[in-house]
Amino acid sequence: MEAGLYSEIGRLLRDLHALIRQSISEDHRPHFTTPQIMVLSSLSKHGDMKITELSERLRLANSTISGIVDRLEKQNYVTRLKSQEDRRVVKVSLTEKFTRLHSEIHSVVEEKLEGKLAKADEEEIQIILKGLQTLKRLLEG
């Protein structure tokens, strides 16, 4: 396959990502910085983690992660929880406030996507679905 086609796929994926992020940021405040989104996404995907675990996962310094967590904690999106077994161990956890916001964001994105896709006919929907399933399979494998 022609190398330019691979580049075009990459450009399309970046464009789609930007459009989705733009859709989310237009509808939801507060604005999260990219590093804050990275921390929140990691916690959402992997559950409670120590600062060192977040640091390793995101490849950022402990002090950087700690500062990000401090700001998120002030906004009540995360909390630090001390382990019952070992009081020296502190894990960062998502709060109910963030969980509600996360759910709202997903609902808004799904509604907007449904609205946009409603303009497509059945054949176009099947082509999109098949293409996305194929891409996912290739990226997983």
3-state secondary structure of 138: helix
Strand runs labelled E in the chain = 49-50, 78-82, 90-94
pLDDT for the residue numbered 25: 62
pLDDT for the residue numbered 1: 64
pLDDT for the residue numbered 88: 86
**Cα–Cα distance for residue pair 58/61, rounded to 1 Å:** 9
pLDDT for the residue numbered 24: 64
pLDDT for the residue numbered 113: 84
Domains of the chain listed by start with CATH number: 32-94 (1.10.10.10)
At residue 112, φ and ψ (nearest 5 deg) are -65, -40
pLDDT for the residue numbered 48: 96
Averages of pLDDT over each 10 residues, the chain, 141 residues: 84 87 64 88 94 95 96 96 86 95 83 88 94 91 85
